């Protein structure tokens, strides 16, 4: 698909190693918004769709913000930059071609989001760029937690989407960096299937965890719950 069109922005979807998909839409729609005038870091931005969804939500909430999306894949970063520039929030968004390891001096963030690689136990994809975007040898959620420990603001959030079978490992890593889950959304493709994805958000403060669930499809159509979550974005 060359261009993926949303209600308020379009996403060129040709050069990036990772294409627009349901995971990105779920994260962009479900990630919590910080108070104040937040600074946002989108790690592994790909086409920039998560960053653009957050820009729309922050703008609609009347917040001043700045968003930086980083990607170690040069064509992805270039495509995200073009997508940002074509949006109504261009002046508040920037895409950078850089690895996560180069991000250490970028300052403090009120929201860090990522749709990180997760196929660390699977066979390598034949396309090396897609493989790098999908495997944890280039970016692990442990690295995300470690970075958040050093660079998340006092009241900031770390939010990511992962396969459900990674939940225990993620929680263990997060706890080792004094990050506490406060929101877990468990996503099922259909009602009869077990959860396949989790959208998890962490903060520096221990609090009761709000757990919820979402079913994506029913009889071949989006459920009312999924339609409601993404209603501001899908045409």
Model confidence pLDDT, tens digit, residues 111-148:
999 997 654 333 344 454 444 444 344 468 889 999 99
How far apart, in Å, are the Cα atoms of 21 and each of 8, 148, 149, 150, 207? 17, 25, 28, 30, 31
Instruction: Copy the structure tokens of residue 51.
Output: 């960053």
Tell me the longest C-alpha to C-alpha distance in the chain: 49
Give Cβ neighbours of residue 231 (< 8 Å, ≥ 6 apart): none
Query: Is the pTM of the predicted complex or chain greater than 0.85?
Result: yes
> What is the residue extent of each domain of the chain?
14-180
Average pLDDT on 79-98 reads 97
- Mapping DSSP onto H, E and C, the string for 79-110 reads HHHHHHHCCCCHHHEEEEECCHHHHCCCCCEE
Q: How far apart are CA 89 and CA 93, in angstroms?
A: 7
Average pLDDT on 58-81 reads 96
Q: How far apart are CA 42 and CA 131, in angstroms?
A: 19
CB 158 within 8 A of CB 148: yes
Residues of 53-89 as b/e, b for ≥16 C-beta within 10 angstroms? bbbbbbbeeeeebbbbbbbbbeebbbbbbbbbeebeb
pLDDT in tens, 150-198: 999 999 999 999 999 999 999 999 999 999 999 999 999 999 999 999 9
Q: Does domain 14-180 match CATH 3.40.50.150?
A: yes
Confidence (pLDDT) at 2: 85
Confidence (pLDDT) at 78: 96
């Amino acid at each position: 698909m060359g261009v993926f069109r949303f209600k308020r922005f379009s996403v060129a979807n040709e050069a990036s190693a990772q294409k627009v998909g349901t995971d990105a839409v779920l994260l962009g729609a479900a990630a919590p918004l910080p108070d104040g005038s937040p600074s946002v870091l989108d790690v592994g931005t790909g086409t920039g769709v998560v960053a653009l969804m957050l820009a729309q939500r922050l703008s609609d909430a009347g917040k001043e913000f700045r968003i930086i999306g980083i990607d170690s894949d040069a064509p992805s970063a270039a495509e995200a930059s073009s997508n940002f520039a074509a949006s109504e929030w261009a002046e508040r968004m920037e895409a950078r071609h850089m690895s996560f390891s180069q991000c250490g001096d970028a300052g403090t963030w009120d929201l860090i989001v990522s749709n990180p690689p997760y196929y660390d136990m699977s066979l390598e994809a034949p396309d090396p760029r897609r493989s790098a975007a999908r495997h944890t040898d280039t970016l692990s959620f442990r690295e995300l937690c470690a970075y958040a420990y050093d660079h998340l603001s006092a009241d900031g959030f770390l939010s990511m989407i992962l396969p459900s079978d990674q939940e225990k490992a993620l929680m263990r890593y997060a706890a080792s960096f004094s990050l506490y889950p406060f929101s877990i959304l468990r996503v099922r493709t259909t009602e009869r299937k077990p959860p396949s994805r989790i959208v998890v958000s962490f903060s520096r403060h221990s609090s009761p965890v709000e757990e919820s669930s979402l079913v994506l499809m029913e009889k071949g159509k989006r459920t009312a719950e999924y339609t409601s979550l993404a209603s501001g974005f899908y045409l």
